Amino acid sequence: MRLPVGSTLASLVATAAAVAAGVAVLGPAAGTGEVPSAAPTPLTGYDTSTVTIERAPFCDDVPDAAITRALDADATGAEAWGNGDPVPLPSGADTAHEFGCTWTADDGSAVSAWVFAPQVDRRTARSLVNQVRRTEGCTTPPGPAYGDPTLASTCTSGGTVVVGHRGLFGDAWLTCTVSAPVAGTAGTAGTAGTTRTALTSRAGEWCVAVAEAARA
User: Can you give the pLDDT at residue 185?
Assistant: 58
Asked if residue 192 is part of any domain, the answer here is yes
Predicted pLDDT of residue 24: 40
Distance CA 72, CA 74 (A): 7
**In this structure, is residue 159 part of a structural domain?**
yes
Within-domain flag for 2: no
Q: What three-state secondary structure class fits 150?
A: strand
H helices of the chain, where? 9-20, 64-71, 122-133, 196-214
> Tell me, what's the pLDDT at 183?
72
Q: What is the pTM of this model?
A: 0.81
User: Does some domain include residue 125?
Assistant: yes
Q: Do residues 60 and 30 lie in contact, with contact meaning Cβ atoms separated by under 8 Å?
A: yes
Residues 123 and 43: their CA atoms lie apart, in Å, by 25
4 located within any domain: no
Residue 35 lies in a domain: no
Q: What is the DSSP letter of 182?
A: B
C-alpha dist (Å) from residue 58 to 11, 21, 116, 161, 175:
21, 25, 12, 25, 13
How much is the pLDDT for 193? Answer: 61
Q: What is the DSSP letter of 61?
A: G
Q: Among 118, 216, 129, which Cα is nearest to 171's?
A: 118
Domain count, the chain: 1
Residue 3 lies in a domain: no
pLDDT computed for residue 95 by the predictor: 86
Q: Which domain holds residue 83?
A: 9-30+41-214
**Would residue 175 count as lying in a domain?**
yes
Ranges in the chain, pLDDT < 50: 1-37, 187-191
